[in-house]
Amino acid sequence: MSARRIVLAAAGVGAVILVSTAAQASSTSSPATIKACYRPSDGALRLALGAKCRKGWKSIAWDREGNATGVSGPRGPEGPRGPKGDKGERSDGLGKITQRSGPAFTVAPKTTIAGIASCQAGEVVTGGGWVSVQGGAFFVDTSRPTAQEGWRVQVTNPNTTDVAAQPYAMCAKV
């Protein structure tokens, strides 16, 4: 073997040892980004030693530790019950809500009649409606608040027999 071949072989072995030592040092240090180049045409991959990838190769990078999330573990035991909280107050400033029923009214066939349910003094209407008291189907033409703190329901009877309805108002103390 010539002296030149021995020198080249020694240089090659030295280069392999140098690259192996650098790779091992980087694998035991803090998390780092690994940079590589891949060739889309055949999927070949090589570590990026320079700043740029060769022509026809694409640059990629990933963390040495990765970002994968494993399967969730089993649910832990339920914690202890917390202390009882303070009694809350209504944010709208209204007190207890009470349903106030108005008088039931009968609607003769082919006529329209309205009925009203009123709130008491010191109450405001917050809603309302009606219930069917007697007879078949009928049309509710309006169901709305009145100007005097109550609820008005207007009913039309398209039938040939009487029907009856009863309005109600939902009233809150102020």
pLDDT tens by residue, 111-164: 999 999 999 999 999 999 999 998 888 999 999 999 889 999 999 999 999 999
Among residues 140, 94, 137, the alpha carbon closest in space to that of 119 is found at 94
Tell me: do 46 and 104 sit in the same domain.
no
Please give the share of the chain, as a percent, with pLDDT higher than 70: 75
Tell me: do 52 and 108 sit in the same domain.
no
Residue 85 counted as domain residue: no
Residue 25 counted as domain residue: no
Q: What value does the CA radius of gyration of the chain take, rounded to a whole number of Å? A: 43
Domain count of the fold of the chain: 2
Residue 92 counted as domain residue: no
Residue 26 counted as domain residue: no
Tens digit of pLDDT for each residue in 15-63? 444 444 444 444 444 456 778 888 888 888 887 776 788 888 888 887 7
Tell me: do 111 and 167 sit in the same domain.
yes
Residue 71 counted as domain residue: no
Residue 88 counted as domain residue: no
Tell me: do 104 and 160 sit in the same domain.
yes
Tell me: do 122 and 165 sit in the same domain.
yes
Residue 60 counted as domain residue: yes
Least confident interval from 66-70, 71-75, 157-161: 66-70
pLDDT value of position 173: 87
Structural domain range at position 131: 97-173
Residue 15 counted as domain residue: no
pLDDT value of position 2: 56
State the pTM of this model: 0.48
Tokens in use for 55?
A: 């022509």
